[in-house]
Structure 1
């Protein structure tokens, strides 16, 4: 079911505010961030080694070396295209069970203004309490 024009405008506004408040999160949510140079270099070396094994296999007529070379090349390309594993972000929980992240600390340091997410969380809490 398509979104109405009003819903599309609200969604665009939410995306714009997210990009302005936390660009790193917005880039993570929008897609790939790209691979690092070290991962790329490692993958190129693996592909070159695999290709070398394939050439050796063809010249010596040893099929099993060719299979190993293909697997090494495949693993190199897979390593280059995969995302590095990220460690989970730790959050502080106060006595009332409310989670606090570093983004909230940064926003209050900028003049005490609440971020968009803080306002949305407050609205959600009020709605849950029936206010």
Structure 2
């Protein structure tokens, strides 16, 4: 569901404020374009499929069954990867939630509290400055 104009303006203001306040953190959150990533994966899988097809044909021509079977397995794997990648390409303008990274329990418990406290303090300062 697309954002309204007001929501888009608010989001842009928040992004500008984040870039101004903490550019290192903002660049870490930015990430890669998912559409380009999944397209690239799909194209690489198609190239792998062609390589697998070549292995299959070469195995048949030189009567090497192992090469033919390996080519078929490569073709099958690449076809599945291409299909899965193509299906995951988001529509233009679609908002895709960022996947959370798995954090080890010890590192997560020890390192998360100060970071979250700092984020909350920054958020509270922004709210207080905006209400003045």
Fold-level similarity (TM above 0.5): no
Q: TM-score normalized by structure 1?
A: 0.39
* TM-score normalised by structure 2 residue count: 0.39
Whose helix fraction is larger, Structure 1's or Structure 2's? 2
Structure number with higher relative contact order (C-alpha < 8 Å, ≥ 6 residues apart): 2
